[in-house]
Structure formats: structure tokens, C-alpha cells
Amino acid sequence: MSRYTSMELNKFLLQEVHAVNELFVLPKFAHLNWEEAWMMIESAKLLADRDMAPYFKEMDAKPAEYDGNGGVKTHPQLKTIIKHAAENGWIGGGAKFEHGGMQLPMMIYNTAHHIFMSANNSCQGYFSLSAGAAALITSFGTEEQIKTFVPNIFAGKWQGTMALTEPQAGSSLTDITTSAKLATDGLYRVKGQKIFISGGQHEACDNFVHLTLARIEGAPAGVKGISLFIIPKFWPEQDGTLTPNDVFCAGDFQKMGQRGYCTTHLVFGDKDSCRAWLVGEPHKGLSYMFQMMNEARISVGLDAASVAMAAYQASLQYASERPQGRLASEKDPLKAPTLIINHADVQRMLLTQKAIAEGSLSLAMECNRLSDLVHGTEGEEKQKNLLLLELLTPIVKTYSSEQGSRSAALAIQTLGGYGFTMDFPVQQHYRDVKIMSLYEGTTGIQSIDLLGRKVVMEEGRALIILAEAIQETSKKASAHEALKKYGNDLSQELTRIKQVLQHLSGFAQQGNVDRYLADATVFMEQVSYVVIGWQWLKQAVAALSALQLGNTDQTPDFYEGKIHTMKFFFRYELPHAAACAKTLMDAEHLTNIKKKEIFG
Amino acid sequence: MSRYTSMELNKFLLQEVHAVNELFVLPKFAHLNWEEAWMMIESAKLLADRDMAPYFKEMDAKPAEYDGNGGVKTHPQLKTIIKHAAENGWIGGGAKFEHGGMQLPMMIYNTAHHIFMSANNSCQGYFSLSAGAAALITSFGTEEQIKTFVPNIFAGKWQGTMALTEPQAGSSLTDITTSAKLATDGLYRVKGQKIFISGGQHEACDNFVHLTLARIEGAPAGVKGISLFIIPKFWPEQDGTLTPNDVFCAGDFQKMGQRGYCTTHLVFGDKDSCRAWLVGEPHKGLSYMFQMMNEARISVGLDAASVAMAAYQASLQYASERPQGRLASEKDPLKAPTLIINHADVQRMLLTQKAIAEGSLSLAMECNRLSDLVHGTEGEEKQKNLLLLELLTPIVKTYSSEQGSRSAALAIQTLGGYGFTMDFPVQQHYRDVKIMSLYEGTTGIQSIDLLGRKVVMEEGRALIILAEAIQETSKKASAHEALKKYGNDLSQELTRIKQVLQHLSGFAQQGNVDRYLADATVFMEQVSYVVIGWQWLKQAVAALSALQLGNTDQTPDFYEGKIHTMKFFFRYELPHAAACAKTLMDAEHLTNIKKKEIFG
């Protein structure tokens, strides 16, 4: 089995870059200390080694498949995986003690999540969805709802899902039409279809708890008329028995990647008897769902970073073992070939992957830390952390997934022709990671969220908080002569972002919101380079400090590698932020074509 | 069946951008005129519609597979495809009359090639390899060799292949070890293994003619000791019978994409009786092979452009038919959803694809034209065209394949979640096109060819010729007030390339060839943006001239679309050339890491 994550990196990010120890003094997490937390992570690694990684290829080769009659055949190992993950607390671990959880910081829980995901990315989704569904119920549901569903979900017996997308509406939740009607039993009857429902039906769980968006009859149009329902496949009656509910799985989408993770088509109320339990108040479903959605977006960012990491590790191993060719300066054909890791272009491909995978992972850890602080602190500090988290959420989701695909392409390229064959895992990583730019809101939607909502909320305060955080890192960097330059680079990029926003806000002030948002994806790209540059500078500051202090947590080479990769990112990646700015500063609007013949 | 190419574009590129008519006055092509040539292309389209496109998905779903005993099971349709293609002249069409060909210009032959490739990219490779193998034999073989092999290859009965790569050597041809020993019959006996041999064994042909590189016993080490051999699977005896030769197919690589196109593992001389026929002189095999290789590299560029084109057309069709969401300025949720083609971000994704696919295709046509001029003219003009062709060959191969992958990713993204499912073709295009950055020399190898060989040959004369060609286009553009700016942009980029080369040549002058070549791939990226910008400006000049002259070959919308896409390319893509230059101008060398622990 090949290496798929770096435990050294995981420890470094937690301890030295993102100061996980500061969490253990907060009341919510005071039950835990570093040694215990790390032991849990190491046990997660053993679980991934044993239960997940060995089935990575097989779950792709024998994908989840519809059985033609409501069932989805999944890999037999999935049952073991879910069972063991549940037993070890990796489904409910993040929940509060009172709900049967382990009250783990997201930094810890999601380090395990990263390990699982990089070992075999067809597994973790099942746990994440269950955890998210349970979190929705504990946050907004009644005591009875919690009691009925959450323990079974945390035990891995019942699978939680989120059911939003409908065939005709796609990403546009405004247009969902699944309907709900209050019945005399106090429950609702729901009717409608949902597609792309991950984990919606499979062989490893006994019941499925679909957290579903629907419109109550007479509700206002648009997103303000959407309510949230719990719709189990089997209804848990008062006496503890389970009655089949009117929920039918009508198919499983066959996908290019992540083929072990089922993606179902669900039909609710085909016989007009689909019982549904309202969560919270009517018409507030979308805002509830967004709690789950925001966490899911950070998860997807983490997932993409994890797949990119696995591809990087596989290509690094190959490059370290495969002799081929000679340096250009070596003219003697009788000299033995060199390992390909010694070729400059291979080093460029490896460093690019490292910069992307580890940079993304660091940003995901930053988000996890902010999430822990939001849930563990109060007042002004909480609010600041929340704003920064909200700003970074679409960024981690988008950068990791878009650049994760590019990173996995470089993994293939590092292996050459072999990388394209099914004999090596990197082609699977490449296929798998592509879904990440689509899950939980496409890149276009994330970018509009960033520019249209996150940048402008509270008069731009989130961006100011981000700029302060970056300046703080730059300041720390400037204490080291070797890093000063890079802090200055980031300051310059912040100025550039400000200039772009000034330019764009002109359109918004004229009321031309379509033009303001037209290049949101390019703006996302620009900001992402700067944010990942920040994460790399953070890592470099931590590494250089460790070297200077003679810290022996990691080897000197490990720390040198961080500083080196930071330099690489600033030199090979960051310059593209200025290119994005150039595109954005152009006044002409080229993406408001009215006649589709122009595309012909 | 969905649209996969644009016949309007094909005509526009041939006639209005690349002046195909100028070829018909050359003696070599005087037998042809435009009407006949276009009729052939239209018949190729019918062939692709009927024989190829309908099997695109099926040839992926039921890939070529090894039968366990020397055979490779291919799709039953392949036999029909090869038969009809041969009958219509699409295998031997480019060859001279005297060799049984139709003496077609590459511009015409390769427009058909593009159509086949975009219809179903698992087909064309079989014809291209046969054509390339035959061209090698006609160029360097004896009359007897030509007579023995070429007619059968052109008839589609025998499959030609190129057998270079060996398991232990990969891209490093210096290290091939397949050996050849002269026997008493005047033939050689060859022994060795070759991998990644496309079309090396399948059910659609009766015999396989492997153009194989091997070392004659006692040959010099390195590439100067490599000879070229014809090794048929069945030996054609003097009396016309076929005797099995000692050639065994030991496997078929299963690949992520292009699964209908077999990729075999061949074993020569396992029983020490593999007869091989030397082509040309001993030890000159690599230079012979490079004739085929150079054509193959242009082909791969064309292939990548074609797959990107098919993905673009599929996503354009989807965007034109799928209603979803509303513009940001439309707040009323009761208004009907708009077609997604009306969203700015979808237009951005479509225009990016159009810029890449059509820009690449235009560059491939430029190369085809140069190739035709090289073969149809003499003297100084021929030499100039040859130099420019040699310079552009690695560029068309690399830009089209690298950016073609990005383009196909945007096709998926345009479809959203559906794009990732097997129900739509774009995910297959995405998987298929990835191989193009590996075939016939990886991106890294192409880039070293560009910077290490093509840029420096004849004291940089090729680059001067390119700059002159670009300046000529800029001059034509400056005759139009609307296009002037873009010509200036290109001039500025040419200056930037010069600065980068000045900077890099410092390293070469110090004798540090490794450092000089270290960032060759970044240099390739920089130059590619400029070259594709040039192709777009050419298209825009042609389109604007057509509009001004009231030319009705195409609709005004078509011409407007060209000018619009040119502007888009200059605004959204070209700025990244400056970012590449910034990377290249940095003096520090970050890709000469000596300790692999730095990557850990």
C-alpha cells in the first residue's frame, strides 16, 4: 500500500501552524489534550490503513450500481467501513456530549476526515453526510426528533443525507417544487423528486434519513418559501418498529469518478403517502440547510486537498524510484540513468502539487480552527472569527477543487504514460477529484457567493479581517530577513485586490449587478492565490521559527521543505494573481452576449 | 447525435484564415481545386456521422481488451471504420500518386482527420499510425519494401505502428535495448520488448507492420546507435504467402480514456526467430523516425484540439437548451428561469473553450499549411517554412493538449453535476484528452525541445521568422482601428519573450545548461499564449475583412463571434504570459533539490 498522507504534515499543521493547543483551554474542548487527540488521529490512520486504503481501487473498479428495483449495490467492504468508523466515533465525534458525541474540535475530527479521504475517497462522504444530517437535527430539531434519529445515525446504522437538488432546478434552489402538505397526524406528506443524492440508498445501512427541502402548500415563492423536513425511508413508529415510508430510490448515477460513493435519484410520495417531519419553523429550511451546507463546503475543500495529497504522494513515490534519462548536462549515454525526481521539470511538477495539496490542506485547517473558535468563544471574537470563516468557505472549496484537479493532472504527468493506465492510482485521483468543483455549489456559484455576498457583508468587514490576518503573518515574516520579501509580496497583492474591488464596485454603484458579478470566478482565482500564499507564508514562518529554535518535532529537511515550497508558490503561482487583476480591471464586458450564434 | 465540429469553422480556417487556395497553384497540388477538396471534406463528415460518432460512447464502455493469448478484442465496428476510411482514401490520401496516394495537401487531409477525431477519438489513431508508418517506408525504404507493405497498409488490411518505447527506458530513447543481429538471409533477428504500442494488435486488420527501433549488435551507445526496422507480425514471403513471425502481443494496457484505441505490449523474438527488415542505413533510425514523430506531434495537437472542440460543442448545446436560475438583476422568483447560456459565468466558460479549441485548431492548420509549403516549394522559402514548422510543432502539441484538458474540464463544469455522469459525453472527452499531453513526448519533453533545440537552432532564426510572421499579422490588424490595440499587445509580448531569453541565455553562456532548461515548461506556456494570440488575431483580421467586404461565406454573427473570441482571449488568457515571464525572470533556482526529503 502506498503512502497517501503525511502524518508529519498533519502534526505540523495542527501544532505549529494552526496552534491546536489553544483550543484545549476553551471550556468546550477542555476535556481533551494534545496527546489524547493525536492518539485518536493515529488510530484513525490505522483504521484507514486497514479498512479503507486497500479498497480504493476495487471500489472504483466495481462501482455502486442500481439493482433495478429500489436498491443500490455497494461494495461489501462498505458495511465494515461504516461500522468501524462509527464505533471509533468518526461519525458523531464532532457532536456535543449531550447528543452522544465526543465534542471533538473540528481540527481533530477533520484531520481524521482528511486521512480517510486521502486513503479512499469513496468512504468519508457517507460519514460526513450522516454527521451533517445529525448536526441539522440537533441544531434545529425537537428533543423527540433528536432522540429518534441521532443515536442511530451516530451508530452507523442509519445513513443521513441532504436532499436539495431537483432535476428541473439544478443549482437554482429558488425553483424547487417538491411539495409538502400538512396531514391530520401533524406530519406532512411530501411529493417530489430529488437527484444527485449522495448515499441515498445502499447496502451498508438499515435506514436512510433524508434531510429534505420542500415547499409547504401556500408558501411564498422563491427561497423564502422552503422548509426543511426529515424523511426517513422507514418510519420509526412510537413502539420502535419501522414502517416502510413512501420513499423510492429510482436510480444511481454512474459517474466518471468517486464511483464507490453512490449518487442516487429519490422519489418521494409516488403513492401520496410519504410521511415527513418538519424541522424547526416553516419556510426557514434554507437557512437551516445552510449550516450543513457551509460545513459541507469546507469539507469538500478538505476532500479535494486530500485527493490531491494522495495523488502527490503516489507520484512522489514513483519519481523517487523510477530511473529514466539523464540531466541535460550529462552527455554520456553509458552513464546510468538518473531517478526522475532529479529532473528539474519533475521537481517543478512535484513542487506544484505539494504547493497546491498542502496549501489547500492548511487553508482547510485554518477554517476548521475558525469553526472551533466560533463554537468555543463568545462576543466580538466569535463574530470576527465567523466573518472570516464565512469569507474563506467559498475560497477553500473552490481553490482546492479547481487546483486539486490541476495537481492530480501533474501527478499523471509525473508518471508519464503509466499515469494514464489503470495500473497506477493517479488516474483515479484525477477522475475522482473533478467532482469537487461541482459538489455543494459549483465554482461559479462559490465565486458569486464570494464577490456578491461575502465581500460586501457588513460593509466589507470580512475582507478587512482577512487583510489584518494576512498582515499579521507578513509582520511575523518580516522578523526573519529571509522571509521579509514574501510578506511584502502579499501586501502588494492585497492592494491589488482593493484596486480591483474599487473598479468593480463602480458597476455595483451604477446598479449594474450583473456586470459587477460577471467575472466573479476570475476574482475568486485572484483572491485564492493570495490566500494560499498567506497559508504558505504561515507555514514558512512556523518552519523557520522551528529551525531557529532547534525544534525537533520534525526533521530539519521537513522544515526546509516548507520554506522551499513557500518560495516556489510565490514564484510560480502567485504571479498569476496579477494576471487575473489585469483581466478584471478591463472595462469592456465580453460575457453579456445576447445572440447565441456568436458562439457558433 | 450531437454536433461535434463546426463545418463553418473548418471552411473559414481553410479559406479565409490560412488561404488554402494558394496551395492549389503549387505543382504538387495542382490536380485539386477548392470545390473538389471541400467535397472530400464533406464526404468525410458523412463518414464520421455514420461510421464513427454513433460509436463514441460504446467504444469507451466496451474498451479494447486483451484476450489472454496474444489477441486484443476491439469493438466490432472498428473493422467497418477502417475499411471505409481506407476506401475513401483517408489512410493513404496524403501520400504521393506514385505510392498509391491521392497527394492531398495536409490541410485537407487533416481537416478530415479533425472531423474523425472530434466524432470519435478512438478511430483516427489507427489511420494516422498506418499513414505514418507508410510514409516512413516510402521516404526511407527500398522499392521492394514499399511494394510489399504500402499498398496493404493503404487498403486498410494491414495496420502500421511505431514501436519506440521500452519498459525500462520510457521517454529516454538513448536507453533502448531491443537488439538486432544480422542473419545469413540478409534480414535481422530482433529481440526485445516494446510498450504503449498503439494499434499493435486488434481484430480489424490481418497483419501488423511495426516500424521498430532497435540496436544492431556493436552499434554505438546512445541515440547514434539506433536503427529502424520493419517487423511484420506475419512475414510476407516471396510467393505471397504469410508466415507467422516471432512477434507476440503480451497485453493491452487498460486506460482512463481513449479506451477504444488499444495500447499494446509487444514481445519481439521470444523464440529467437523474429525477422526484421532494416530500413535505410544502420544507426540512422532515430532521424528517420523523427520524420514520423514530428508529423505525429502535430497530429496530437490536432487531436487534442478536436476532442476539446467536441466537448465545447456538447456543452454549448447543453447551455443553449437548459433553463436554470436567473440573472442576479432579476429578483422575481416567479419569472421563468433563463437558459444557462445567458449567465455571464457560463459565457465565460464557453468562450474560454472556444478560444482554446478554435485557437488550437487554427494553429494546427497553420502547421499543416507550413507542411504543405515545405513539401510543395523549394529553396529559401522552403527552408523558412521548415524552420517555422519545427518551432511550432512542440507548441501545437503542448498548448492543445494541456489547455485542451482545461477546456474539457470547463465543458463538464458547464453541465454542472450532469457533466460528471456517464449520461453525457463531456466526461469522456475529459478522460480522453488527457492522454494527449503524454503521447509522442510529454509536455516536459516538448518544452525542452522548444527551448533547448528549436529556439537556438540556426542562431535563433526560427524565432525571428515567427516574430516576423506575428508582426505581419499585427500590421494587418493595425489597418483596422478596432484591432490595432491587439497587434500592439502581441508586439509587447514578443519583447517580453526576448527579455526572458536574454535572461535565460545568461545561464547557457555560463555553461549551465541544466539551469537554462529548468523552466522550459513555463517558457513553453508563455510562448504558447502569444502564438495562440497570434492565431486569434489572424482570425479576427480575416473576419473583420470579410465583414467589411460583405463576404457572405459565413453569417455576420459567425464573423462577429471570431472578433469577440479574439478579444476574450487577449483579455482573459494572454495576461498569463506576463505571469510566466515573471516566474522565468527570477534568478533563484528552486528545482535543483538534491535531497528528496525536502519533498516529504
- The answer to whether residue B305 sits within a structural domain is no
Question: Is residue A22 less than 8 Å (CB to CB) from chain B?
Answer: no
Question: Is residue B10 less than 8 Å (CB to CB) from chain A?
Answer: no
Separation in Å, CA A385 to CA A109, A381, A524, B255: 19, 6, 21, 46
As for the ipTM of the complex, it is: 0.97
Averaged confidence pLDDT in chain A: 97
pLDDT of residue B152: 98
What are the pLDDT digits (tens) for A67-77?
999 999 999 99
Residue A279 pLDDT exceeds 70: yes
- The cell numbers describing A256, all together, are 466518471
Select the residue of A254, A344, A517 nearest B592 (Cβ to Cβ). A344
Mean pLDDT confidence for A304-320: 98
CB contact under 8 A, A518 and B578: no
**Exposure string (b/e) for B503-542, b if CB count within 10 Å is 16 or more?**
ebeebbeeeebbbbbbbbbbbbbbbbbbbbbbbbbbbbbb
DSSP A268-317: E-TTS--EEEEESSTT-HHHHHHHHHHHHHHHHHHHHHHHHHHHHHHHHH
pLDDT of residue B1: 66
Confidence category of residue A536, pLDDT binned at 50, 70, 90: very high
CB contact under 8 A, A447 and B345: yes
Contacts of A412 in chain B (CB under 8 A): 434, 438
What are the pLDDT digits (tens) for B202-248?
999 999 999 999 999 999 999 999 999 999 999 999 998 999 999 99
Residue A325 pLDDT exceeds 80: yes
Nearest CA in chain A to B452: A328
Query: CA of A283, closest CA in chain B: separation in Å?
Result: 15
Mean pLDDT confidence for A442-453: 98
Provide the chain B residues 458-487 that lie in CB contact (below 8 A) with chain A: none
Mutation site, A173, A345, A526, A529, interface B, largest B CB count within 10 A:
A345
Mutation site, B300, B327, B596, B597, interface A, largest A CB count within 10 A:
B596
- The answer to whether residue B146 sits within a structural domain is no
- The answer to whether residue B186 sits within a structural domain is no
What are the pLDDT digits (tens) for A198-217?
999 999 999 999 999 999 99
What are the pLDDT digits (tens) for B115-138?
999 999 999 999 999 999 999 999
SS3 A498: helix
- The cell numbers describing A91, all together, are 461519525
Residue A171 pLDDT exceeds 90: no
Give the torsion through C-alpha atoms of B529, B532, B538, B539, to 10 deg: -120
**Exposure string (b/e) for B123-151, b if CB count within 10 Å is 16 or more?**
bbbbbbbbbbbbbbbbebbeeebbebbbe
CB contact under 8 A, A579 and B578: yes
Question: Is residue A583 less than 8 Å (CB to CB) from chain B?
Answer: yes
CB contact under 8 A, A576 and B579: yes
Q: Residue type at B308?
A: A
pLDDT of residue B2: 81
Question: Is residue A324 less than 8 Å (CB to CB) from chain B?
Answer: yes
SS3 B265: strand
Query: CA of A112, closest CA in chain B: separation in Å?
Result: 20
Question: Is residue A596 less than 8 Å (CB to CB) from chain B?
Answer: yes
d(CA A279, CA A212): 10
Nearest CA in chain A to B513: A329
Question: Is residue B345 less than 8 Å (CB to CB) from chain A?
Answer: yes
CB contact under 8 A, B517 and A347: no
- The answer to whether residue B533 sits within a structural domain is yes
Select the residue of B329, B514, B519 nearest A514 (Cβ to Cβ). B329
Query: CA of A60, closest CA in chain B: separation in Å?
Result: 12
Mean pLDDT confidence for A306-316: 98
Give the total number of structural domains in chain B: 1
Nearest CA in chain B to A252: B421
- Where in the sequence is the domain holding B547, given as residue range(s)? 443-592
d(CA B598, CA B595): 6
Q: Which one, of B368, B295, B275, B290, lies nearest residue B23 by Cα?
A: B368
Contacts of A435 in chain B (CB under 8 A): 420
Residue B259 pLDDT exceeds 80: yes
Q: Residue type at A420?
A: F
- The answer to whether residue B578 sits within a structural domain is yes
What are the pLDDT digits (tens) for B56-107?
999 999 999 999 999 999 999 999 999 999 999 999 999 999 999 999 999 9
- The answer to whether residue B118 sits within a structural domain is no
DSSP A111-133: HHHHHHHHH-TTTHHHHHHHHHH
Q: Residue type at B505?
A: S
Residue B502 CB-half CA count within 13 A: 6
Confidence category of residue B457, pLDDT binned at 50, 70, 90: very high
d(CA A189, CA A318): 56
Residue from A390, A440, A525, A573 carrying the catalytic annotation: A440
CA angle A339, A313, A94 (to 5 degrees): 170
CB contact under 8 A, A561 and B598: yes
CB contact under 8 A, A579 and B583: no
Mean pLDDT confidence for B518-544: 98
**Catalytic site includes residue B597:** no
Mean pLDDT confidence for A141-148: 98
Query: CA of A49, closest CA in chain B: separation in Å?
Result: 19
Confidence category of residue B385, pLDDT binned at 50, 70, 90: very high
In this predicted model, which residue has the larger pLDDT, A2 or B139?
B139
Provide the number of CB pairs (under 8 Å) joining chain A to chain B.
Answer: 294
Contacts of A578 in chain B (CB under 8 A): 575, 578-579, 582
The dihedral sign for the CA sequence B422, B305, B541, B546: negative
- The answer to whether residue B281 sits within a structural domain is no
Q: What distance, in Å, lies between the first and last C-alpha atoms of chain A?
A: 49
Q: What percent of chain B has pLDDT over 70?
A: 100
Nearest CA in chain A to B197: A417
d(CA B36, CA A384): 72
Contacts of A450 in chain B (CB under 8 A): none
- The answer to whether residue A544 sits within a structural domain is yes
